[in-house]
Structure 1
């Protein structure tokens, strides 16, 4: 994108800029001064920008890093006018390379929209309380199997800052055929609506509405309203892809301004999974049913929630004209994203399911069911971190989840951090005597190091803030993986 076009898109005055820069290409965009590249544009965000755009908390004033950004080779920096005036002594020598704006985040998002308009391709947007990243990866994989080149979010950058960063990559390679973008929330209400203004979705995928973010939004009904902003924000004539098994998602059909395609397992839906058979860890078989056709799928992920994610991806594929057989073939070759159902076989003869990226009650119980179904007579151990953002009823939700874990048939539970104690209390109430609490993930890993033995199967899962991946790290400190041990021999 030419600098002249970039400045025009954010309605900034270019009169004070060095005119020799205006026709240069801006090759990169950054909001972190450590990631500034030569010839790039740096947006210096400050506390008023965050506050004006709904971000809570204390943030650094990046204006102090503007000089450093220029030293790293930035072509121009975007700075709030009031912050420029406050730091004028330091910034005055660079005034002909500084774009002054009223709101740096708003300018950043406007520029991302301009990049989207310049590209002008179809957007698949995905939201839900859980499973966004897995569904994004599955959807991208399915569409790539049709020969399309897919842009997807950088990492899990899915909020009002990460989403624009991803979109600003579009002009670098105009050969992208479609963008598959997860949209999340880090601010109360209207954030997804703002993301839809940056990249209006052609296909809006709604995964689920769960009691996550309740502590910020007040109720699960408000969570549903926030997630529904995606369907409300899609293009007229677009396609809403809705989970028929979630009543709050199914109710969003009335908000669609275009076509609705449903998917599900339990309820009547346009795209369904039937004859689900759990074969082993890392393999689930089911029949994909849509448009009166059927195709057998051997799916490398486990858990009902992941089958629903696969159905969402399949439904998107259908909306792009793919056949059922093409979609089924693509689903056979997917791989679990890191920390999302990874199966680790250890040379000592035990298995770990690393599902440590995030957690909520439904997903935890789904993975516990997978553990029980697949482990047979083996000892089944669950290491479960507290689940965050469940609102004022979080304690009782944890206890009830613990009771359900006890009833599932697992042999041991280690609850980790905070409300993990309520998980343990609930499991003991449910009759699971071998339950204990660990203050943090490192301690849980040390406990596991001392008790795990040949034949055991352990599930590790927790909310992102609990960092339950450290449990896996503790296992890897002491035990070799099966394939590494074989290679060493």
Structure 2
């Protein structure tokens, strides 16, 4: 008499694994393969119940009872009886074909200023040529241009979020000083490493108290460039140019000074490549050969070449795109379709026309950033200028004074607000800036202190007059953009009502 203890034959319930692969009829193999493909699986297990597997199941009454999307390997690797089969190898070979790279291409971008704009521009270029890009910036992590995690995401943990995402085939990663010092990088090597510049910012923090030490931190990026990769370095910045000595990769220099730069001269003599800005045109050079790529007036984020710091960012992005093998015509097409807007460059030199006046938004937060912004504002030859101004509380006293000097020489009126106090008491930032603004020639009657950032912005908008240029150097980028849109809509409605009232008078 037979007593059935289980009605199933699973290995987990005591079943026995016997390898019979060599005796399976080819017709049964064919139907199993077709079943897997029909349901759209790359890997699958097929459970067949049949009186005899050596004959076609279509003839002996057998059939498929189950398809498994995650089949077990143990019964095949170590059967109770029969020959063990290495079923894992073809699966691994399919997922990681022999000879192919086990990682996606990585572009890493660092520097004191310009790294976020350069990162976003490179994201646009690589997306333009067909890549599915994962990007880390100070605004968050983006997968396929969609914000998936908001915040300052420029450290190694953020990089890992992109590098472990199965949907992306290219990573463009902004790498900030803080993340490098705290935890290093989220990758061992990169295909292209970009260093935009090194200037005074965050000095005195984490034992980094001079520019040479800061350059050592930023220099980590070119050091991890692969031997067949490219380091994209600013030839106009001596400390950045010297990083060429510490990279195993190829070097592409970029320069605003063009062929007059001695670093560029020597590099071209040895047959190297460079990207320069000459006579209002972005040019690629190799040795004596020069290829004019596109004029600055055709690249929206340069504002007809007036935004010099964005010209430098474009040079860096062109160099990185060359390093990734992007064709010149595709680089040009991408550059001419990248606009200074909240959608593509939030908080980075965007202009909004409010009707009677204009608003310029830029996330300037250090001396070099305010210098570049002031230079751009002066190039516009504006009427009255009103600027909101702040500086993080952990900056050095000399930074407060220098930013105040720049503002006093550039703007007619200044509204001081506070953000990023970083341990300082409320009022410290605004009172310090006010003291130095007055020292450098601004009348106290042209200085107003409104601690709340959003209220300061609203005050500047409410008091703007025809022909004014409002300059907002604010931290709440999304909130300020929303406030600007609402204020513009309000002005447009008021203007429309005014037109209607006038038409009734006639």
Alpha-carbon spacing, 1:405–1:237, altered in 2? closer, same or farther (3 Å): same
Decide which of 177, 180, 196 is 2:172's aligned counterpart: 180
Q: Which residue of 1 aligns with 2:128?
A: 145
Determine which structure has more spread, i.e. the larger CA radius of gyration.
Answer: 2
Q: Which residue of 1 aligns with 2:400?
A: 398
Alpha-carbon spacing, 1:483–1:304, altered in 2? closer, same or farther (3 Å): farther
TM-score, scaled to structure 1: 0.64
TM-score, scaled to structure 2: 0.62
Q: Which residue of 1 aligns with 2:213?
A: 222
Q: Which residue of 2 aligns with 1:354?
A: 361
Matching of residue 158 in structure 1 with residue 154 in structure 2: yes
Q: Which residue of 2 aligns with 1:425?
A: 435
8 A Cα contact 1:414 1:438, kept in partner: yes
Q: Which residue of 2 aligns with 1:442?
A: 454
Structure 1 residue 273 displacement after superposition: 1.7
Alpha-carbon spacing, 1:179–1:470, altered in 2? closer, same or farther (3 Å): closer
With 241-250 and 399-408 compared, the bigger mean Cα shift is at: 399-408
8 A Cα contact 2:196 2:234, kept in partner: yes
Matching of residue 480 in structure 1 with residue 489 in structure 2: yes
Structure 1 residue 420 displacement after superposition: 4.0
- Kindly report the root-mean-square deviation, in angstroms, between the aligned alpha carbons of the 2 structures: 3.0
Matching of residue 456 in structure 1 with residue 468 in structure 2: yes
Structure 1 residue 479 displacement after superposition: 4.3
Q: Distance in 2 between matches of 1:335 and 1:133?
A: 14
Structure 1 segments unaligned to the other structure (5+ residues): 1-116, 277-285
User: Over residues 358-417 of structure 1, what are the superposed CA-to-partner deviations in whole Å (9 max), with x where a residue is unaligned?
Assistant: 52211122112212211x342112212214543xxx222121222122223x32222322
Structure 2 segments unaligned to the other structure (5+ residues): 1-99, 143-151, 265-273, 419-427, 500-506
8 A Cα contact 1:241 1:260, kept in partner: yes
Matching of residue 246 in structure 1 with residue 237 in structure 2: yes
Which SS does the other structure have where 2:186 is aligned?
Answer: helix
Q: Which residue of 1 aligns with 2:386?
A: 381
Q: Which residue of 1 aligns with 2:353?
A: 345
Q: Which residue of 1 aligns with 2:373?
A: 367
Alpha-carbon spacing, 1:118–1:271, altered in 2? closer, same or farther (3 Å): closer
User: Over residues 91-132 of structure 1, what are the superposed CA-to-partner deviations in whole Å (9 max), with x where a residue is unaligned?
Assistant: xxxxxxxxxxxxxxxxxxxxxxxxxx9852321111122322
Matching of residue 131 in structure 1 with residue 114 in structure 2: yes
8 A Cα contact 1:402 1:426, kept in partner: yes
Structure 1 residue 426 displacement after superposition: 2.7
Alpha-carbon spacing, 1:172–1:404, altered in 2? closer, same or farther (3 Å): closer
Decide which of 331, 334, 351 is 2:335's aligned counterpart: 331
Q: Which residue of 2 aligns with 1:233?
A: 224
Q: Which residue of 2 aligns with 1:47?
A: none
Alpha-carbon spacing, 1:403–1:129, altered in 2? closer, same or farther (3 Å): same
Q: Distance in 2 between matches of 1:234 and 1:377?
A: 44
Decide which of 278, 291, 296 is 1:293's aligned counterpart: 291
Aligned length: 347
Structure 1 residue 306 displacement after superposition: 1.6
Alpha-carbon spacing, 1:152–1:238, altered in 2? closer, same or farther (3 Å): same
8 A Cα contact 1:139 1:312, kept in partner: no
Which of 1 and 2 has higher RCO (CA within 8 Å, sep 6+)? 1
8 A Cα contact 2:107 2:190, kept in partner: yes
8 A Cα contact 1:350 1:457, kept in partner: yes
